[in-house]
Chains A and B, each alone.
Chain A
Amino acid sequence: MSRSNVNLRRSSGIELGEGANSALPGERIAGREMVNQALAGRSLVDLARSGDAAAFESLVRSRMDAMYRLGLAILGDEADAADAAQETFVAAWRELPRLRDLDRFDAWLQRVAVNSCRMVLRARGRRRIREIPMAELDSAQERVLGMGASGRADAELLRAAIRHLSLDQRAILALHHLDGRPVAEVAEILGIPVGTAKSRLFKARTELEKALREEERR
């Protein structure tokens, strides 16, 4: 592997040529050009920041599931999570030129996602409900369904309990517990001091446990 490939992996966190592979036939040239530019030392994030739609598409494809999962963990609702994930990338495309530290793209994107969840929560009362067809449930969900009743029951309890929490509390809990991120990383994503993150996490955890106990008693 060339040094350029290594640089690309490090800076963007995705596989080289991912955008080219996922591009439609008519877009392959653009995707290949993007790869060529990446090989020349520019990361996908850098390319996307400068307006390269193909590079941005690669970023979207490689991170959509993660943003959707984060949205699910914060909002507890599939349609809301889809809205938030979509809004995350729309906002990311708009705000990318303002991103100063390209190496922080993923932390920045997750912060955008948290803000998008906030917006979705605000707009919840005003928007239509979009149903997710059952056909969209794939093998991953089947794995979930196969996790056993207690796992699903806990997830349902959690889904109900987080509705008692503020958005900020939901976000810090999801960031910390969904993927096991250390507090320092959560603080970086949320853009708050580590001490503040610890305090907020402690309080959010306390509130969540209280809500969970209430849900268990129902």
Chain B
Amino acid sequence: MNERSKRPTGRPWDDERLAEAYSVLAARPAPADLTDATLAATEKAHRSGRGGRGFAWPTLRWPRAALAGSAIGLVAVAILVAGLALRSTPASSPAIGGLPKTVDGLTVETVSQALAAEASGSPQGDGLIAVEGWLNPMPLPGCPYESPHPALEDSCTSRKLLLTETRQELVIIETTSDSTTISANAPAAPYLYARELAGVSIDSLPGGDDTKPNTYRPLQAVLVGHFHDARAAECGADQRASCDSAFVADQLAWLDGRSLGPNVWIGGDSTGAVLKPRLTTDGVVAALRPSLDPADAVVSMAVVTLGDITTLTGKGLQASGNGADLLWYVRVAGPSPRFPPMAWGAGDSGWMVLDDASGRLRGAGGWGFVSVATGSFPPSPRPSLSGGLFALPTTDWLAGGACAGVGLEAVLHGSPNDPRVAWLEDKLGGQSRTEVTWPAGYRARFSPNIEVLDENGNVVLREGDAVGGACGFDLDTGMAYLEPPFK
């Protein structure tokens, strides 16, 4: 009977149907002789010496292992990729010929130039740079089990992008009648061993399919990425330095003669649910455009929940609000944004966060600035809330970087008759009142002096308490945006 003639139509391929199909597809026990054949093959391997079976650890070659053919003629190869340092010492620069001189408004640098710049502290912070070279698809290694580890820590399983300054065939496939060996030479030229992270995973990478010819052919490419990723702080002490100096790829901007657009990543939330943003990528760009400088270019876009955003930004970011809110985390190259009117630094790249539901800007950072300010706030408090609580001017802005230390030497004051309820005064009495905006959910009460409560109802500040720092100031109004900790 023709199975296809009986195929159901119109029924959606939901989880139930898919699970049933998988169950039927795989509902067969192993062939009766397979266990014995396997044990025989294992015994053969055992006789050849366990632990040293074909492994070689040459100085200039990556470890390789070619397995003996099995009883049914299987030829398999295991690769272990290990032992490469993150970066090599800068050396001579090749000619750029054929490559764009700029991508995303960034000057394209050679690997050597990028390494030298990083060593000299440029670009500032985690600013974006564009680096050209030869992208070398690498075989996927066979890795032993690893416990979960910080995103930036080097590990066998983390995918890395090897960008060499000059073209070099690094992967060597040797096939004989009964075995195949894949080995990989260490690069002879300067190289970047770029990290690819969850949240900015690059789908457009070539390679990974041994059934196709030229799988491991080096391709000329331009990567846009950054050093000094904030997530380096999460690495263990022994790896923190290498994490900090690792090049993290945000975008594969150009590959083998083709310009590629912004890297877009839409994942799932922490419960496994698929994220379904309302906005399209074009919609996000359109929503951001009024805030951006005309010369700005979007490098990457990732959809993430507010609760998960620190997986992209590192834990320094303060996020208040509904953890299920969908956000677009967008990395931008170019001049600092027009809005918010902050005292941006000298950096030429940064990030912005857009609320998917409202299409409203909720945060920004980078551009040489250590913190962010609010995008919107009410000019005065709302009427008193029930239970004797007073509304405070609040913002759901996401504060990036270190919020403390902007430079306050102030104390808290408040009055139920004041339109903004609470304010700061210079501790030394040399400056008058400073207006403040609070995190989302903050309220105040008077008993009889002011007490500021956080979103959970905990008293976090009282009348006369010292406030040692703010996240930033609005340049036009001088208003301070406060984020905990306040002292």
Contacts from A to B (Cβ < 8 Å): 51, 53, 56-57, 60-61, 64-65, 67-70, 72-73, 76, 78-79, 82-83, 85-87, 89-91, 93-95, 97-101, 104, 107-108, 111-112, 115-116, 118-128, 130, 132, 136-138, 140-141, 143-144, 147, 149-159, 166-168, 173-174, 177-178, 180, 182-184, 188, 190-196, 198-199, 201-203, 208-209, 212-213, 216, 218
Contact = CB atoms under 8 A, between A and B. Distances in A.
B396 interface: no
B430 interface: no
B157 A191 contact: yes
Contact of A136 (B32, B74, B155): B32
Interface in B18-33: 18-32
A65 B29 CA distance: 5
Contacts, number: 257
A174 B272 contact: no
B22 A158 contact: yes
B145 A99 contact: yes
Contact of A87 (B76, B208, B268): B76
Contacts of B8: 150, 153-154
A159 B23 CA distance: 12
Contact of A202 (B15, B32, B266): B266
Given A100-B144, A191-B143, A123 B45 contact: no
A90 B151 CA distance: 31
Contacts of A87: 67, 70, 74, 76
A90 B41 contact: yes
Contacts of B210: 121-122
B153 to A, nearest CB: 11
Interface in B291-328: 308, 311
The residue among B18, B38, B74, B142 with the most chain A CB atoms within 10 A of its own CB is B74
B272 A183 contact: yes
Nearest to B52: A94
Interface string B122-162: 00000000000000000010111111100100011100000
Contact of B50 (A69, A94, A177): A94
B258 interface: no
For the complex of A and B, 4 pairs with smallest distance between CB atoms: A198-B268, A199-B267, A122-B210, A68-B30
A104 B143 CA distance: 14
A91 B22 CA distance: 26
Contact of B198 (A78, A111, A199, A202): A199
Given A68-B34, A153-B4, A177-B19, A73 B67 contact: no
Interface string B193-216: 000001101010000111100000
A216 B9 contact: yes
22 contacts: A51-B50, A64-B38, A65-B30, A73-B22, A83-B72, A85-B38, A86-B34, A86-B72, A94-B45, A94-B53, A127-B72, A140-B27, A152-B3, A154-B7, A156-B3, A158-B18, A183-B272, A190-B157, A195-B267, A195-B308, A198-B272, A209-B13
A82 B76 contact: no
A178 B24 CA distance: 9
A57 B144 contact: no
B192 to A, nearest CB: 21
